[in-house]
Amino acid sequence: MKTLSSTGFAIFGAALVAISYGLARFAFGLFVPPIRDELGLTPYVIGIIGALPLISFLLATAIAPFTTDHLGARNTAVLSGAFGLGGLALISQATDALMLGVGVFACGICTGLMMPALTAAMQALVKRSMHGRVSSVMNAGTSIGVIVAVPTVLFLAGAWRFAYLSFAVLAGLGVIAAWIFLPSVSRITPGNAAPPPPISELPWSRLVRLSLFAFVMGFVSSAYWIFAPDLVVTLGGLPSGATGWLWLAVGIAGLGGAVVADLADRNNPPITQALMLMMLAASLALLAASPGQSLLAAFSALVFGLAYMSLTGLYLMTGIRLLPGRLSMGPVLPFMAVSLGQASGSPVVGGLVNALGYADAFAMFAALGILMAILSPFYPGHIAQAEEDEEEEAGLQAAYDHQLQNEEGEPLEEPAEDEPEKPAVHP
C-alpha cells in the first residue's frame, strides 16, 4: 500500500465518492429521457427502477459496518467498486427494464459500501483534528461526479450506452486505485476512549425527529433527481442534450453545500433547515412552471443543488453529534433516512406523473416540502449543557471531535506524534 497524506487522501476519497455517488447513483436521472425512449418505459416503471438503487443502498449501508470490520477498508472499497463496475457495465448493455433494474441495483450497493470503507481508512490515515476538513472534501465528490457526467450528455446526446460504458471504465480504475492506496484496516477505536452511552440513554426523540425530516427531504428530492431531465424534455420540449446543463448547475451549486451546512450548524440549524427546504420546494415549483425556459430551468437546478447538499451536510453533522462514540451509526443514520425517503418517493412521483402529469406531480411534492419547512422548529438543534448553561461547539469538526470521548465526557485528546494509534490490520 502506498501512503497518502491527509490532503492526498481527501482528494482520493473525493474521486471514489464521485464515481460511487455521482456516476453510479445520481447520474441516472440525467439519462432517463434517452433510456425511456429507447427501451419504451413508462414514467411509473422509471420510478420503480429509480427506487432500486436506493433500496440496495439501504441494504448495503445496513451491513457496511459488519463488512468493514471483517474485510477491512481496502477490501470493502474494492468490493464496492466491483459492484459499481458491474452495475454500470450492465446498464450500458441493458435491453429491457429487468436488465436495467439489476444494473442500477448493483450501483446502489456500490454507493452504500464506499463511504463506510473510506471512513474506516480515514480513521487510520488521517489525524482526528483533520477529520472534519477531510470529510467535507470527500462529500464534495458527489457534486464532482455529477459534473463529470455532464459532458457525456452535452456532447454525446443520446449515446447513453457509451456514457455508461465510460463510467464503468472509471469505476474499474477506482477499484485498482483503492487496492493500491487504501489500508487493510477495520474501524479504529482507541483503547482509552470511553464506551458509547447505553442504547436506553440515547436522545431518541431527537433521533426520530432528525430521521423524519431527512426522510421527507429525500421523498421530496426524489422528484428532481429522477424526473427533472425528463420533465424539461417531455413538458418543456427541450432537446435531451440540454438536460446536461441542469446537472452541471446542480453539481456546481452542490459544491457550496458543505460550507452552508457548516455555517448553518454554527448558527441556527432549525431556521436554516426551513430556508433550505423552502429552496428545495421552490426549485421543483420553478421547474414545473417554466420547463421550456432553459435559463430558468438551470436556475432551478442551482437552487436545488445548493439546498440538497446543504441539507444532507446538516443532517450528517446532526447525526454524528447525537450518537457520540458510535462511529458506524452516527454518519449513516441520516443518509439511510434520506435514501429511504427517495426510494419511497420515486415510484410515487412516477405514478403521479402517469395519472396527473409532470406539473401537478411536482407541485404536490413542492407543497410537501413547504409543509415540512413550516415544521422546522421541531428540528433538533444544539444540545444545551444545562450544568454549564452553554451550548456545545458546532461545525463538522466539532461533531467529529465529540465522537470519541474520555470518561469525563470530554473530547478524547489526540495521541502524540510518536504514539500513533494501532490499527487492526487484516491479511
Domains in the chain, ordered, with CATH?
1-187 (1.20.1250.20), 202-382+391-401 (1.20.1250.20)
The identity of residue 25, as a single letter, is R
Task: Choose between 184 and 417: higher pLDDT.
Answer: 184
Q: Where are the beta strands (DSSP E) in 268-413?
A: 384-385, 390-391
pLDDT band at 406 (very low <50, low <70, confident <90, very high): low
Q: Is the pLDDT of residue 193 over 80?
A: no
* Burial of 37: CB neighbours in 10 Å, binned 0-12, 13-18, 19+: middle
Chain mean position to CA 157: 26
When pLDDT is cut at 50, 70 and 90, the band that residue 217 belongs to is very high
Residue 120 — pLDDT band, cuts 50, 70, 90? Answer: confident
pLDDT in tens, 220-257: 999 999 888 888 888 888 777 777 788 888 888 888 87
Q: Give CA 379 to chain center in angstroms.
A: 20
Greatest Cα pair distance in the chain: 66
Tell me how far CA of residue 116 lies from CA of 24, 178, 232, 262, 348, in angstroms: 16, 13, 36, 21, 30
> pLDDT grade, residue 424 (50/70/90)?
very low
Could you tell me which residues are beta bridge partners of residue 94? none
Chain center to CA of 302: 17
For residue 204, give the 3-state DSSP assignment: helix
Place of cell 483503547: 191
Residues in the chain: 427
SS (H, E, C) 126-138: CCHHHHHHHHHHH
pLDDT (0 to 100) of residue 109: 95
Phi, psi of 426, rounded to the nearest 5 degrees: -105, 145
**Residue 131: closest CA among 417, 401, 395:** 401
**Average pLDDT over the chain, rounded to whole?**
82
Secondary structure (3-state) at 115: helix
| Residue pair 293/240 in contact by the 8 Å Cβ criterion | no
Residues 6+ positions from 366 with CB-CB distance below 8 Å: 220, 281, 282, 284, 285, 288
The residue whose grid cell reads 483533520 is 130
- H helices of 140-290, in order, are 141-155, 160-181, 204-234, 244-254, 257-266, 269-289
User: Mean pLDDT, to the nearest integer, of 119-141?
Assistant: 80
What secondary structure letter does DSSP report for 158? T
